[in-house]
Chains A and B, each alone.
Chain A
Amino acid sequence: AQKITQTQPGMFVQEKEAVTLDCTYDTSDPSYGLFWYKQPSSGEMIFLIYQGSYDQQNATEGRYSLNFQKARKSANLVISASQLGDSAMYFCAMREGRNAGKSTFGDGTTLTVKP
């Protein structure tokens, strides 16, 4: 079974609107971390936000927030007030246990922000 599932290959959003990118995960390890990365056409992986499995509150970083629903094993990324520069590929990833850095990635969602 796939450990990280991103069901939206492509998404469109109007500039200045909010958008939610879906991510579900599968693990039996009680200790894990969930990440979202942005990959523009240049290829670099840009860290956006992190949520630990024991964190009580949803993570937020500026315009990015993570809607963490532990019982449903979902970790959706919400981008508020979309900007043209947000157009990129977005990856959800999971680290299991304390194995820092060894992450499993989803297939990604291509987000296009329309003017």
Chain B
Amino acid sequence: GAVVSQHPSWVICKSGTSVKIECRSLDFQATTMFWYRQFPKQSLMLMATSNEGSKATYEQGVEKDKFLINHASLTLSTLTVTSAHPEDSSFYICSAPMSLALETQYFGPGTRLLVL
């Protein structure tokens, strides 16, 4: 069964609103989670590393004020797209490695965001 969940799976919002996406690890604790973005027919691009109890680490070119990340507990990370615009429409996927099996990271099912 799924080991990482995401909510919501689909969201449509108006331009200028903020959208929160949740990523939860099920049955294991994840001190680190990763947020990726994928545009249609393109590869996954790492946006940021979410760290429990400390600030997220953002990849070059990703606006940290635009994409707010909060790792509130050992099983939950949230990504908030603030003042969303149509160009933020994308597929957002989180992943969490199981610390005892470093060779495997588990992905959430993804969240499709459409900004009108």
Contact = CB atoms under 8 A, between A and B. Distances in A.
A103 B33 CA distance: 12
Contacts of B18: none
Interface in B68-116: 91, 93, 95-97, 99, 102-107, 109-110, 112
**Chain B, interface SS category:** strand
B110 A44 contact: yes
B34 A102 contact: yes
Given A101-B32, A102-B49, A107 B43 contact: yes
Interface string A82-115: 0000000001010000101111111110000000
B11 interface: no
* Chain B interface bracket (under 10, 10 to 19, 20 to 34, 35 or more): 20 to 34
A91 B97 contact: no
Interface of B: 32-34, 42-46, 49, 91, 93, 95-97, 99, 102-107, 109-110, 112
Contacts of B34: 101-102
Given A47-B104, A101-B95, 16 more contacts: A33-B103, A44-B107, A47-B106, A47-B107, A91-B44, A93-B44, A98-B102, A100-B99, A101-B34, A101-B97, A102-B49, A105-B43, A105-B45, A106-B43, A107-B42, A108-B42
B22 to A, nearest CB: 16
